[in-house]
Amino acid sequence: MFEIPGKCTFAGGSHPPDSKEFTAERRIVQGPEVETITLMLSQHIGAPCVPLVKKGDVVQAGQKVADNDGFVSAPIHSPVTGKVKEIALQPHVAQGRAMGIVIVVDPENNAPQEPVNDQFTEMFDVTQYESAQICDISRQAGLVGMGGAGFPTRVKLEPNPRLPKDTMIVNACECEPYITCDYRLMMEWTYQVLAGIRLAKRASGCSKVYIAIEDNKPKAVTAMQTAVDASGCSAEIKVVAVKTKYPQGGERQLIKAVTDKTVPTGGIPPMIGVLVLNVGTVAALAEAVVCDRPLTHRVVCVSGEAVSEPQNIYVPLGVTVRTLLEFCGGVTEQAARVVMGGPMMGFALAELDTPITKTSGAITVLTHSQIGLAKFKHRQTACIRCGQCLEVCPENLNPTKIAHAVKFNALDVAKDYYISACIECGCCSYVCPANIELTGYIRTGKIHLAKQKKKA
Amino acid sequence: MLSKMKVSHSPHISQRMSTRSVMVDVIVSLVPAILAAAIYFRARAVILLLTCVMACALTEWLCNLVRKIPKPLESLGDFSAVLTGVILALSLPPRLPIWTAVIGSAFAIAIGKMVFGGLGANVFNPAMVGRTFLTASFGALMTTWTVPATFDSAMPNVAITDSTQVVDARTAATPLGLAKDAIKERKKSAGLAAENETVAAEQAMTISRIAAKTVNDQMTYILTGEVAGCLGETSALALILGGIYLLIRKAISFHIPAAVLLSAFVFGAVAYAANPETMANPMTHLLSGGMLMCAFFIATDPVTAPLTRRGMWIFGSGVGLLIMLIRVVGEYPEGVMFAILLMNAVTPLIDRLCKRVPVGGKPNVQG
C-alpha cells in the first residue's frame, strides 16, 4: 500500500451548484440513427489531419479517413460505412469554421455499434500486452484526451527517458456542473475503465496509480474501489476521494491535490513525473487494445434545465448537436444557450449543426434566467476591488489586475502579472459581483500576446 | 427549436452576488449602529442621516450629469453613494448643522469619488475625505459633542452644561477627549515639575489621573453607547454586531479588522504599560471613538484597501498603528480619518509590494 501525499484539495476554487441530478442516474443509451455524419479534421491539439479519402469514396466503419505525420497528432476513423459526400468547411465548436469530412451513411450496411464493456471482467490479464504495443495501438486508434483538451494519448503514454514518469492520476473528478459521462462510465463500464487504467500503467511504466474522484460521487468511489479489490491490484492502484470543488479536475489542481507537487508555471506534468489521463480516454484505450476498435464513438451527456429528457448517450463521432437534442426530446421554451462542454469552461454554440468531436463530453442547454444571472442582463459596474477573484483563483493570480491591463491595452502589465499562467477556469468571472468578464478579457489578452509574438 | 443563439465567453453561469448586494450588505450591517444613534440622539440622528444620504445621492447624480453619462441615475443603483452617506453621517457629531452636513456630503462624493472617475476609481475613502474637509473647515462644530438624550446626569465629572448658547442638549467630553486631556495634563505636569512648580505639577498630575480613571470607568457606557461622540461611533456593541454580520455574509474578510484591532491593541498596551496611571487602557481605546467603525466598515472599503491578503495585513496594521500614534502622541484625540487617508494613499504601493506569485512559481521565460 502507498499513501496519498496530497491534501485532496487545492487553494482557491469556487463552488458552482453541481446540477448532476438530471443525468447522474440515467444509464448510457444507444444514440439515434443518423443519415450523415461530419468528421472534423481538427479534433485534437496539434496539426489538423489531412484527409486520406476524397469526394465519392466509399468508406467502411473503422476505416482511417484522415491522418497527419506530426508527432503531436492522431488519426481519425470513420464510425460508419458510407460514402464521402464532401470535404468542406463545417461549423467547428471553437474555430468557427474548419474543414470536415461529410459522410452519408449507407443504411443497409450499418448496424449501430455496441459498447464493449461486457467483454471486461476482473479476470483481465494485462501482461499479454507489451508497453510498446499499447503505445502503438493508442496512436493507430486515434486516441486523444477525451476530457476536453484533446492531447494525443500516445505522446503522453510513451515512456520518455528525459522525463521519467512514476505516478499516474486518472482524472475522474468531473468538476464541471451537469456533466456525468465519466460518472456513468465508472458506474457501468467499471471493468473496462479499470482495464484501460492497467494498460496505461503498463504502457507508461508508472509505479503508482491514483483514481481521483470528487467526494460528491460516493457510488463511483465504491464501484471503482470494489473493482480494484476484485482485480487484486489494490497494491498499485488507489482510489482517492478528492474534495468537491471547481476546478478540481484541472490537471494542475488535481496533481496538487493528490501528490502535493506543483507543476512549474508554463510546464507540463511529466516534468514532475506525473501522467494524467481522463476516464473516457482509458476506457477508449481498453477498447482499442483489447477489441481492436479505433476511437469512433464516445459517451456524450446531454443535460440542463431546458432539455426535455436529459440523457447519457453513446454516439458516433460526427453527429450534430441538433440530432442529439432532438433525440433528447428537444429543448423547452426557456432554452437560451447551447454549450458544448460544461457551463464553466464550455463553448457557446452559434450553430446547432456543429458536430460532436473526440473531446465533446457534454452538451449543456442553459436557460434565460441562468445566462441572465451571468453577464448579459445584469449591469456591469466598475471593479470594486473586492478581491473575490483573487480568493478563488486556483493559480494564485490577480485576475482583476490582468483583465484590466488587457482592457486598457497594457499587455506588458498583463504579462508582468503572469497572464500566461491563467488556466481560464472561469472562477473569477463566476464570483465577480461587478459582473466583469474577467476570464474573457484574459483570454483576449492571451490571443493578442500570441499575435504580437508571431509578428516579432 | 432555438431561434436565436446567444454566444459569449465562458463561464456561462454566475453566482448571485452583485455590487449592489455587497453595498446593501454593508448598509444592513450598519443598522444596529443607526438604531443606537436614533435611540441616543433621537430625531437629530435621523435627520442628519437622511440629509447625508440624500445629499450624497444628489451629488452623484449631478456629477453624472456634468460628466454627460448616458444614464445619470443608473450609477445610484449600486448604492455606493448611499453607503458613503451613511458612513459619513455616522461619523459626524450629532449637533452638526444640516447645511454643514450637506457641504460635507457634496465634498465627499464630488471630490472624494467622482473626480477620480466614480465607483472603483477613487484613491481615498470618500466618507473620510468629506469628514476631513469638515474638520478642517468647521473645527468648532465638528468637536462639539452632545450628551445622549438618555444620559444619566449622575455620571461623575463628565457632564458640563453649555451655558454659552441656548441648547436642547448638553455637551460633554468624549472618552477619547478625556484620554487626551489625561495625556496633556501629564505632559503639563512634567513640564511644571521641571520648572520646580511642584504644587501646580501635582495638581496637573491629579487631574490627569482622574481623567484617565474616569475614562477607564466608563467601559459599560462605551459598550452600550451612552457616551458623547459621533452618531454611529458611540455604541461598541452595535458596531461589533454589524461587523459579525459582515463576516458571516462574507462581505468582508477578517484580515483587515483583525490587523487594525491587533496592532492598535499592541500599541495601546505598550503605551498603557509605560504610564498605567494616566493612560486609558488598551481595551478602552479599542472600543471607543471610531476604532470599531474604522476596523469593520471604513478600512474594509474594498475600493481603497489592498487586494491581497498580505497587503490587507500590512494595511490594517498600518491603520491601527497610525490611529494609536495620533491618539497617544498626536494633537488630536481621535485619528481614524487621518490614519485611513494616509494608508489609502499607500494602498497602490502595498499592492505592488505584495504581488502574487503563481502556484507553479515564476515562469522561466516571460511571455
Considering only CB atoms, B7 lies closest to which of A266, A348, A397, namely A348
A211 three-state secondary structure: strand
A104-126 average pLDDT score: 88
- ipTM attached to this prediction: 0.86
The count of other CB atoms within 10 Å of the CB of residue B66 is: 11
Binned at pLDDT 50, 70 and 90, residue A326 comes out as very high
What's residue B230's pLDDT?
A: 86
Are A182 and A280 in contact by the 8 Å Cβ rule? The answer is yes
The answer, for A382 touching chain B at a CB cutoff of 8 Å, is: yes
pLDDT over threshold 50, residue A67: yes
The two beta strands, A347-348 and A335-340, are antiparallel
Note which residues in 340-379 of chain A have CB less than 8 A from chain B: 341, 343-352, 364, 366, 370-371, 373-376, 378-379
pTM, full prediction:
0.89
Provide the chain A residues 422-441 that lie in CB contact (below 8 A) with chain B.
Answer: 424, 426, 429-435, 437, 439-440
Nearest alpha carbon to residue B321 among B305, B301, B336? B336
* A4 interfacial to chain B (CB closer than 8 Å): no
A335-340 and A82-92 beta bridge pairing = unpaired
What per-residue confidence (pLDDT) applies to B151? Answer: 57
The reply to whether residue A265 touches residue B356, judged by beta carbons under 8 angstroms, is no
User: Residue A455: is its pLDDT beyond 90?
Assistant: no
3-class DSSP state of A242: strand
Distances (CA, A) of A323 to A220, A355, B123: 30, 9, 55
Q: What's residue A1's pLDDT?
A: 59
B322 contacts B339 by C-beta, under 8 angstroms: yes
**Predicted pLDDT at A46:** 82
Q: Which residues of B touch A420 (CB under 8 A)?
A: 363, 367
Distances (CA, A) of B339 to B93, B248, B326: 19, 26, 8
Cα–Cα dist B36/A380, whole Å: 35
User: Which pLDDT does position B183 carry in this prediction?
Assistant: 86
User: How many residues comprise chain A?
Assistant: 456
Give the residue ranges of chain B where pLDDT is below 70: 1-4, 149-172, 365-367
pLDDT of the residue at B360: 87
Would the CB atoms of A352 and B7 count as touching at under 8 Å?
no
Angle of helix B175-194 relative to helix B309-328, nearest 10 degrees, comes to: 50
Return the CATH fold of A122-291: Rossmann fold (3.40.50)
pLDDT score, position B334: 85
Q: Please state, as a whole number, how many other Cβ atoms lie within 10 Å of the Cβ of residue A46.
A: 18
B356: which residues sit within 8 A by CB, 6+ positions away? A390, A396, A397, A398, B308
CA-wise closest residue to B288 among B264, B322, B255, B314: B264
* pLDDT (0 to 100) of residue B158: 41
Torsion sign over Cα A161, A163, A167, A170: negative
What residues have CB less than 8 Å from B244, skipping those under 6 apart?
none
Q: Which of B2, B4, B8, B13 to mutate to test the interface with A (most CBs of A within 10 A)?
A: B13
Instruction: Give dist(CA B37, CA B225) in Å, integer.
Output: 8
**What span, in angstroms and rounded, lies between the C-alpha atoms of A50 and B312?**
55
Q: Is A97 exposed, middle or buried (0-12, 13-18, 19+ CB in 10 A)?
A: exposed
Q: Residue B21: list chain A partners with CB under 8 A.
A: 433
* Domain limits, chain B: 21-142, 173-224+252-353
Can you give A342-362 as a three-state secondary structure string?
A: CCCCCEECCCCCCECCCCCCE
What does the pLDDT look like over B111-155, one tens digit per residue? 999 999 999 999 999 999 999 999 999 988 888 887 776 655 444
Q: With 80 as the cut, is the pLDDT of residue A88 above it? A: yes
Q: What is the pLDDT of residue A347?
A: 92
- Provide CB contacts within 8 A for B105, sequence distance 6+: B51, B52, B55, B56, B59, B84, B85, B88, B130
Task: Report pLDDT digits (tens) over A222-270.
Answer: 999 999 999 988 889 999 999 999 999 999 999 999 999 999 998 999 9
Interface test with B, best of A272, A381, A413 (most B CBs within 10 A): A381
Nearest partner of A207 among A240, A241, A171, A168, judged by Cα: A168
pLDDT at A374: 54
Query: In chain A, whose CA is at the least distance from the CA of B9?
Result: A440
Beta bridge partners of A339: A348, A364
Q: Could A352 and B2 be called an inter-chain contact, meaning their C-beta atoms sit closer than 8 Å?
A: yes
Per CATH, the number for A33-105+296-371 is: 3.10.20.600
Over 80: is that where the pLDDT of A456 sits? no
Boundaries of every domain in chain A: 33-105+296-371, 122-291, 388-455
pLDDT of residue B84: 96
Mean pLDDT of A4-11: 91
Predicted local distance difference test score (pLDDT) of residue A263: 94
